[in-house]
Structure 1
Amino acid sequence: MIEAGYVRQMARYNAWQNRQITEALTGVDDDVLRADRGAFFGSIMGTLNHLLWGDTLWMSRFHDRVPAPAVPPSEHLTFTPTFAVWSAERFRLDGAMRMWADTLRSLDLKRRLSWHSGTMNRDFRQPLETCVVHMFNHQIHHRGQVHAMMTAAGLQAPVTDMVFMPEDE
């Protein structure tokens, strides 16, 4: 399905996208970030927290150096209390994701991952590569929602086209 090079590329893309979002939203009033914009998770901040919480959960399953989220699923929309805390935690997790991806071998992706979903209240077992693709697709989906909410709020949304990602990212 995928190779380790794909994971490294997507980890780079994820970090680049999150860095651009951070730069674009730094200094934006908290009321703008928390305004309900009719998206699935309501606000820009709620969606960013959902993404960070989900990425933290998946990475804790993939890599033993990433601890599981410190809050239960019911609190994912308030995972971080402020944009500044979100920015710091996002930067930390994106670095951990890139370091994990840099050590990954294609063969590692063929193993099966087992976990218990508290949300679904059942056990799952899937190929790691399927779970990794899911994590990256989940990021792209919800960052698209953030992009739309930024645009609707009159904010400058970042470039999202992977083909324009700088080589040094």
Structure 2
Amino acid sequence: MPGTSFFHQARNNAWSNHRLYGVCQKLTDQELDTKRTPFSSSILQTLNHILTNDWYYLDALVDGGRGRGCFADEMPFAAIDKLAAAQRDTDMRLMAFCEQLNDKDAIRSVELVREDASKTHDTVGDILSHLFVYQTHQRGQVHALLAVTSQAAPPLDDYHLEYDTPFPGIDFSALGRKGA
């Protein structure tokens, strides 16, 4: 079993994004761009938001130097295919990071610069835990928004159990990784 339990969460994160993008890429431009509810922006904006948050936290974890610059453009991708490719690349980098992570790395302190320019220090483990919960929440919003489109929302809860194995196995093959 590579790395820590965070590796499995990173795989689940990549798998969930892959499934969600598989459906979102079938939507019309109008379905992607329409603001649906007060709590959420459009599907495309929400997917861009997920990506920029991934960029921010992954950058902090690897001391990449971009910091808040990850949010300079709130909509870095207007085309769903380019957004999907960028998300996939980011998911692969996050999996690679988590695959190499060990228990000592998980307690390493990382500086985060917040919106108000204040600085906080959190452990790698705390940041990853936050990131995976936050991404689950944001994907849940997209999942709900899909209910009023031409496409059915994909199942995102069939990941670890034996009877679910064929589904993530197929998806992981498409991602160039071994199945669940």
**Range into which the TM-score falls when normalised by the shorter chain:** 0.7 to 0.9
Change (3 A) 1:155 1:71: farther
Match of 2:143 in 1: 147
Match of 2:47 in 1: 48
Mapped partners of 1:89, 1:154: distance in 2: 24
Mapped partners of 1:81, 1:37: distance in 2: 17
Change (3 A) 1:146 1:5: same
Mapped partners of 2:107, 2:48: distance in 1: 30
Mapped partners of 1:159, 1:87: distance in 2: 18
Count of residues paired in the alignment: 163
**CA RMSD, aligned part only?**
2.1
Q: Decide whether the 8 Å contact of 1:112 with 1:126 is kept in 2.
A: yes
Change (3 A) 1:159 1:69: farther
TM superposition score normalised by structure 1: 0.87
What secondary structure does 2:49 align onto? Answer: helix
Give unpaired runs (5+ residues) of structure 2. 170-178
Matched, 1:120 2:119: no
* Runs of 4+ in structure 1 over 6 Å off: none
Change (3 A) 1:106 1:135: same
Mapped partners of 2:20, 2:111: distance in 1: 32
Question: Aligned AA for 1:132?
Answer: L
Instruction: Report deviation, 1:94.
Output: 0.8
Instruction: Report deviation, 1:23.
Output: 1.2
**Deviation sequence 1:92-138 (CA, Å, 0-9, x none):** 11111111111111110111111222x12201111221111011011
Match of 1:96 in 2: 93
Matched, 1:130 2:126: yes
Match of 2:34 in 1: 35
Change (3 A) 1:19 1:46: same
Matched, 1:75 2:50: no
Give unpaired runs (5+ residues) of structure 1. none
Mapped partners of 1:67, 1:84: distance in 2: 27
TM superposition score normalised by structure 2: 0.82
Match of 2:152 in 1: 156
Q: Decide whether the 8 Å contact of 2:26 with 2:151 is kept in 1.
A: no
What secondary structure does 1:75 align onto? Answer: coil
